[in-house]
Amino acid sequence: MFHKEGHKIILIALVLCIVLSLVADYFVENSFIKGGIIISLIVLLVLILQFFRNPKRAFNTDDNHVLSPVDGKVVVIEEVFEKEYYNEKRIQVSVFMSPVNVHVTRYPVGGDVVYSKYHPGKFLVAWHPKSSEENERTTVVVKSEKFGDVLHRQIAGAMAKRIVNYAKEGQTVNQADDSGFIKFGSRVDVFLPLNAKIDVSLNQKVKGGITPLAST
């Protein structure tokens, strides 16, 4: 099963791979070179397919937990001053996505969307300290019953050239529903109340809509 954001890219990649394979088969006489070209095209297509995969999952929805919005590895757990929305200190938990991770972004909590904003910006590597403030990004805040306003921020990286954000202010959303997609990158930050109990550790691998990041 593939995410809708990848349907067009997958179709284009499939057509290109077929056409280039036929061209190589017709014009390239050396069987070794011809085989190398065809194998390389197949590998490229497989990489694109796995990037846009959207596996079916039994989500662990629970109002007493903030779930990871994406698959990846926890790279930041720290107290920071969040100045775009809260203008006060929060606990930031950041999850880095490699190209082999599922790149669907999911709502970490359910509730009402009270803030949704896109910011154009740079394409620094996702682990750069300033990427959260200077890179292309979207900021979404959902007002939940247990945790209050929970902010999650999609951040583009060096490879990510398009962030898709489905959140609209005034919507009521369910925990683990699709919030967006980052094409070919990179990181999502979640900002939590200072009294939230953090349930993950640095370098821990997490799954979107399944792994609890924090609890009440």
Q: How far apart are CA 17 and CA 39, in angstroms?
A: 10
Mapped onto helix, strand or coil, the DSSP state of residue 108 is coil
Encoded tokens for 187: 């990181």
Q: Which residue has the tokens 């499939």?
A: 14
Q: How far apart are CA 172 and CA 114, in angstroms?
A: 9
Q: How far apart are CA 82 and CA 148, in angstroms?
A: 15
Which of 116, 186, 201, 215 is the catalytic position?
A: 186
Q: How far apart are CA 30 and CA 24, in angstroms?
A: 10
186 is an active site residue? yes
Q: Which residues are catalytic?
A: 186
